[in-house]
C-alpha cells in the first residue's frame, strides 16, 4: 500500500483523543478505514488544554493504538480542534534571509 494514499485524522476532544487511519480512494468512493485509536483525554477541560504533558501522553497512546490496529507507522495527521476559544488573528511578518 503506497504511503501517500494514507490519511490520518486526529480529533482532540475534552473526553477522548481519537484517531482514524484510512486508505484514500480516488474513484468517488468513501475512504477505507484500516485502523483506529482512542485514549481518554485527561489534559483538557471544556476544550482547553490545562495539562500539556498529559495531553501529549494521551495523544501518544491513541497514536500507538492506531498504529497497532492499522499496521501503519503514523508520521502526519490532520487535526480537528473546535471551541469558541479558537480564533484567527491576521498578521504580517518579515524574515531576513542571508545570501551567505
What pLDDT is recorded for position 60? 95
pTM: 0.76
The domains of the chain, with CATH numbers, are: 3-80 (3.30.420.40)
Query: Do the Cβ atoms of 74 and 63 come closer than 8 Å?
Result: yes
C-alpha cell at 100: 551567505
Contacts of 35 by beta carbon, 8 Å cutoff, 6+ apart: 20, 21, 66, 67, 68, 69, 70, 71, 72
Give the burial class of 82: count Cβ atoms within 10 A of its Cβ; 0-12 exposed, 13-18 middle, 19 or more buried: exposed
Helix/strand/coil for 94: coil
What pLDDT is recorded for position 3? 56
Helix/strand/coil for 96: coil
Per-residue pLDDT 10s for the chain (100 aa) are: 455 689 999 999 889 999 999 998 877 788 899 999 999 999 888 878 899 999 999 999 999 999 999 999 999 999 977 777 778 888 888 888 887 6
Amino acid at each position: 500500500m503506497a504511503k501517500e494514499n494514507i490519511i490520518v485524522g486526529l480529533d482532540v476532544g475534552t473526553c477522548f483523543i481519537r484517531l482514524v487511519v484510512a486508505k484514500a480512494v480516488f474513484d468517488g468512493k468513501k475512504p477505507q478505514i484500516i485502523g483506529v485509536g482512542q485514549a481518554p483525554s485527561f489534559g483538557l477541560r471544556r476544550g482547553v488544554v490545562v495539562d500539556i504533558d498529559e495531553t501529549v501522553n494521551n495523544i501518544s497512546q491513541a497514536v500507538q493504538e492506531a498504529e497497532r490496529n492499522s499496521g501503519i507507522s503514523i508520521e502526519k495527521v490532520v487535526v480537528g480542534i473546535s471551541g469558541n476559544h479558537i480564533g484567527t488573528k491576521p498578521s504580517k511578518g518579515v524574515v531576513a534571509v542571508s545570501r551567505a
